[in-house]
Structure 1
């Protein structure tokens, strides 16, 4: 990403985190709430908590071109009570690592051969390979039976965020849809930030904002998750309840593709119901 894009994103991130933290939670027990025009902390309060000057913090939140030390960032992370994922995101935005730029024209990359090999060995659990745009690149038969078909003429129909917010049938599968959607969106935010120069993300996000009020609201809320291994609890129309634990395996060569494996609960009957569903669909699950 360009320096201007990075500073703009850092500004947006700091502001959302400042506004979500109440003075009482931050330790300002005697703050005068009646005189506050907005929720959250004031800039001078964040600066005081972080042990930095107000002009220095103002420069950061206004997206100015300044360099910050790890000590300053640690102070901000503590002051804003950032989670581990949010702290990593802060450091990435303030001090991005040098890395080769991705090719923005590579819209449909081939699935990693190593991840495809592992995927081909999995018949007893639903699994698919996704990329850094959360597009599903390859999947096994059971994934199609559990999550619905991935073959579609819709250019975004294989994107996990698009399916979650824009496809009612997909959305209705999940018990606790809101929690799962927010978790996936938080992961998508970190992927977007690392490829913010790619216009695909800008166009995609604009379409989602136009089509989904929930997406528009939650995107502006700036949720951050470095990974999303949120469990999938599914009310399947044929199998009933499927309680699936999510496991991720990243391709270490490209580091931009992931094997998503969904393991059924062995104690609540999910494993047996999944096996029955596979059998009814004609999927062989023998070893």
Structure 2
């Protein structure tokens, strides 16, 4: 990501966080809300609460080329009530650390050893994704639970695309909105780290055009660096399944293994085992 791209993304992030915070939550008293034209805090209020000058904060939010200390970032994170994921994202956008991950088009395909590992999770759904959240390889039970991953559509294997754009897929989830927002918040930092890659902008544009929910929530700028939302679904063959994703980064090239474990007490184990009785558990890609 270039320095200009990083500053522009920082500008958008700071503005969304400022506008979502009410004066009451920020600790400001005796504020006349009737005279406000916009929601959230004003720039001068953020600057005063953080102990920095208004011109300096204005330049920061406008994406100007200025140096930011960790002390100032700590103050902004405190004032804007950022959670741990948002604070991490703020420091990333405000810093100059280069992302050394190898681009996807320079990587080899999923190694045979990882495909073999997937094959060993015969009783649990499992798949491997890249940094774009594209499913690269999966076991038979993952396909039985989540539907076919083979697709002629350029985004057909992408988890975010499937969640927002495939009616048969999204209709299975009993907590679809909460799950979709969490998944989108997990995708957002990945997008920010790869702004120089046109794939991300094309992907976001296609989703924004096709899904009103995505377009609205993308502007909210939610950030979730961790992704542990349970999958509660009404499977067309197995019935109610409650699955918890366990996500592990498996190498330095941004490959991620996700293994889904069933709830131990609500019958999900037995219903998942029913699906597992189908022949085969080979990895496909």
Q: How many Å separate the matches in 2 of 1:27 and 1:114?
A: 54
Question: Residue 24 of structure 1 aligns with which residue?
Answer: 24
Is residue 234–residue 243 contact of structure 1 (8 Å, CA) maintained in 2?
A: yes
SS of match in other structure, 1:245: strand
Runs of 4+ residues over 6 Å off in structure 1: none
Gaps of 5+ in 2: none
Question: Residue 271 of structure 1 aligns with which residue?
Answer: 269
1:98 CA drift (Å): 2.5
Gaps of 5+ in 1: none
Q: How many Å separate the matches in 1 of 2:173 and 2:51?
A: 44
1:117 CA drift (Å): 3.5
SS of match in other structure, 1:65: coil
Query: Pairwise mapping of residues 44-193 of structure 1 onto structure 2 (< 5 A)?
Result: 44-100=44-100, 102-103=102-103, 105-106=105-106, 110-193=109-192
Q: How many Å separate the matches in 1 of 2:212 and 2:222?
A: 16
Q: How many Å separate the matches in 2 of 1:49 and 1:112?
A: 51
Please tell me the root mean square deviation across aligned C-alpha atoms, in Å: 1.6
Question: Residue 215 of structure 1 aligns with which residue?
Answer: 214
Is residue 104–residue 198 contact of structure 1 (8 Å, CA) maintained in 2?
A: no
Is residue 73–residue 91 contact of structure 1 (8 Å, CA) maintained in 2?
A: yes
1:282 CA drift (Å): 2.5
Is residue 8–residue 63 contact of structure 1 (8 Å, CA) maintained in 2?
A: yes
Give per-residue Cα distances to partners, 1:126-178, cap 9 Å, x unaligned.
00000100000000000000000001111110000110111000101111000
SS of match in other structure, 1:68: coil
Change (3 A) 1:173 1:192: same
Q: How many Å separate the matches in 1 of 2:170 and 2:186?
A: 18
SS of match in other structure, 1:111: coil
Q: How many Å separate the matches in 2 of 1:165 and 1:199?
A: 21
Matched, 1:199 2:209: no
Give per-residue Cα distances to partners, 1:226-253, cap 9 Å, x unaligned.
1212111110011111000110111233
Q: How many Å separate the matches in 1 of 2:112 and 2:189?
A: 25
Query: Pairwise mapping of residues 5-16 of structure 1 onto structure 2 (< 5 A)?
Result: 5-16=5-16
Is residue 22–residue 40 contact of structure 1 (8 Å, CA) maintained in 2?
A: yes
Q: How many Å separate the matches in 2 of 1:109 and 1:203?
A: 23
SS of match in other structure, 1:4: helix
Q: How many Å separate the matches in 1 of 2:255 and 2:10?
A: 26
Q: How many Å separate the matches in 1 of 2:210 and 2:127?
A: 26
SS of match in other structure, 1:190: helix
Q: How many Å separate the matches in 1 of 2:10 and 2:53?
A: 18
TM-score between both structures, scaled by the size of structure 1:
0.94
Question: Residue 282 of structure 1 aligns with which residue?
Answer: 279
Matched, 1:40 2:40: yes
Moved more, 111-120 or 13-22: 111-120
